[in-house]
Structure formats: structure tokens, C-alpha cells
Amino acid sequence: MSIATSTLRGLYEQMLLIRVFETEAERQYKAARIGGYCHLSSGQEAATVGSTHALDPGDLLVTGYRCHGFALARGVPADAVMAELFGRVDGCAHGRGGSMHLLDVSRGYYGGWGIVAGQLPIATGLALGLVRQGRAQAVLCELGDGAVNMGAWHESLNLAAVWRLPVVFLVMNNEYGMGTSVERASAVTDLYRRAASYDLPAERVDGDDLLAVAQASATLLAGAREERRAAVLELVTYRHRGHSVADAGLAYRTRGEIDEHIQRDPIFRVRALLAQEGVSDDELDGLMGAAEEQVAAAVAASVASPPPAVSTLATGMYAPGSAAQFAGMLPGAPFGERELVFAGGLGE
């Protein structure tokens, strides 16, 4: 794929921002400024940035919980992503979501979902919504290699094929689901081949090759947008850090295996491409400095941002009118329930 040097430079800046952001997020987590879970995507930047780059402004993006990089690549400001990790009001989900539940509907980013494969039916439903609204746009739905063994994967791919929905399922195959390797979890380890069960087109590419990722994503998203053709794209990549910041990542893989991947760092690969295009070392180093400044500013803004008021914690949780419905479901309420459904225990 040929690409203008200025575009490549912009993508490189995004990759650097993600790497620096993730490194800082780990530091802030260990300093107890970030609570809950925190899953880093260091090492997966080419897959994240290349696929997101192929989105049109009107396309929709849905991801799992390893989502900081996707939010940044979609243009959510680093301040708003960091503040969300800190649980502050200026976070992109107003501080109510945290690391796994980033959200920015104004940029077509529909989350950030913590239940493995829970995002697939949501993405499939969003694609149905696009069809119903007559919008020629696509949904890109990111998931991990662990998610392809969930029922929601099969249900979503089947419906997407039968109803011809404009959704591309992006499988980030980083070789492990927590501590379980793909070999131990999946009978078919070329995960893209599973799409054949649903008669969907599928591709597998080196997820650490930015241009290959961008090219394959653009082709499959165009098929979804223009011909309502759902598809599967498997990106083979690797996470440098543990599953979450609570995992050292060494119990189920060797130091040697990790180092081998770090030597093939996707960021170095893009830096080498830019150097070939004549971008100087000084300029490339300057881009790193700019990313570090941006992330330092994001931390400062997050520290300064207050937590949401406790009285607003349920805001946006339920549709208007739900309170009356829930009240009606209590024992002795107008719907007639006399006891809680499971009060006597299951199976009695």
C-alpha cells in the first residue's frame, strides 16, 4: 500500500501516543490513582491504528476492554481518556466507566465493553440500525482471540451473514486469552477460517505491519459499507505487557518469547519506513517528545478534574420511566408478584 509520508507520520504519532499513554497508565495505576481493571495494548499499536485509520468519519467503532489505544486512535483526546481511567468528571464517560468502558458517541466510538464477546451483539445491532436508517456506513467490532469461543461470536456472525449487515469483526489475535494460548483454547488456530462457517469473507494479516493492516481493513470496510458484506479480519499481534496491570505476564510465556516480539516492535517498523522516506532522526525523536508532553498534560488535567458527584452515579443507567417499572416488580407491587422470583432457590 502506498501512503503519503505526511499520513504515515500522523499514524506514527498516534502509535507513539498510545505507547507512551499505556506506559504512563501503568505507572499511574501502580501509584493507586487508577482503580478497577486496566488492560494495556502496548505492542498492538499497528493493529489498532491501522484498522481505525480505515474508518470513515461516519463509521462506528465498538471494542472490548483493551480499548485505550482505540479511543486515542479514534481521536478521543488523551486528557479525556486519562481522566476516565482516573474516574473523573472530565473523562470521556464522565468518570463512570473507567478503563474498560471508554465511550465517545460524538466520534462514533460506542465503547469499551468488559464482558468478553459482549460487544459483538451490540456491534451487530448497531449494523442493523445503520441498515434500517439507510446509512451506507460500517461498524468495526474489535474482539480478542478468546472471544471467538463464546456463543455471542457464533450468533453475531450468523446474523450478520443472514441479514447482510455492514460489520467487520476484527479479531486481535495476540496469542493469549489471559494465560491461555490460542493452541490450548481453539481447535482451529487460524481464527479467520472460522468465518467460512457463516460464508463470510475473511483475511488474516500480520497485525504488526501497519500498512498491511490499513489495506486489509480498508478493503473489508468498503465491502461492508458499499455491499453490506460482513467480514472477519484476523490481525496477528502480541501484547508486550501482561493481560492486565495485575499480571506480570511471565507465568505462561517465557521472557525469551516476549523479547523476540519486542525486537520486532511495530513502532520501530514504522520509524524505519519514515527514515527511508527521508524523515530525520531529530524529527522522529521530537515526535516522541511531543507524545510524552501530551501524556504528562493528560495526567495533570486528570489530577485537577474532580470525581463525579455521588448523586449523579445512576445518571444515564436506565431509560426514563424505568424507576416505575422496577418499582412494579417488587413483591406486593401492582404487577402482582408476591415474592422474589428466586426466593425459594433455583430448581424447586
Ligand X SMILES: Cc1ncc(C[n+]2csc(CCOP(=O)(O)OP(=O)(O)O)c2C)c(N)n1
Binding site for ligand X (CB under 6 A): 66, 114-116, 144-147, 172, 174, 176-178, 243
Alpha-carbon Rg of the chain, whole angstroms? 21
Q: Give all strands of the β-sheet with 202-206 in edge-to-edge order.
A: 109-112, 60-63, 139-144, 167-173, 231-236, 202-206
Residue whose Cβ sits closest to ligand X: 144
- DSSP letter string, 97-165: S-TT---BGGGTEEEE--STTTHHHHHHHHHHHHHHTT----EEEEEEGGGGGSHHHHHHHHHHHHTT-
When CB distances are held under 5 to 8 angstroms depending on the partner's kind, the choice from ligand X, Mg ion, none that residue 73 binds is none
| Residue closer to ligand X, measured from CB, 64 or 91 | 64
Task: Indicate the residue among 45 and 145 with the shorter CB distance to ligand X.
Answer: 145
147 binds, among ligand X, Mg ion, none (CB under 5 to 8 A by kind): ligand X
Q: Which residue's CB is nearer to ligand X, number 146 or number 166? A: 146
For the bound state, the minimum distance from the C-beta of residue 58 to ligand X, rounded and expressed in Å, comes to 27
Binding partner of 114, given ligand X, Mg ion, none, CB within 5-8 angstroms per partner class: ligand X
Quick one: the chain helix, strand, coil %, rounded to 5? 50, 10, 40
Paired residues of 139 in beta bridges: 60, 167
Please identify, using beta-carbon distances, which residue of 80 and 202 lies nearer to Mg ion. Answer: 202
194 binds, among Mg ion, ligand X, none (CB under 5 to 8 A by kind): none
Q: Are 210 and 22 in contact (CB under 8 A)?
A: no
173 versus 215: smaller Cβ distance to Mg ion: 173
Q: Which is nearer to ligand X, 43 or 144 (CB)?
A: 144
Least distance in angstroms from the C-beta of 42 to ligand X: 12
The Cα 154–Cα 36 span in angstroms is: 30
Q: How far is the CB of 162 from Mg ion (least distance, A)?
A: 28
Q: How far is the CB of 146 from Mg ion (least distance, A)?
A: 5
The answer to whether 171 touches 145, Cβ cutoff 8 Å, is: yes
Binding site for Mg ion (CB under 5 A): 144-145, 174, 177
CA-closest candidate to residue 54, choices 189, 182, 217, 197: 217
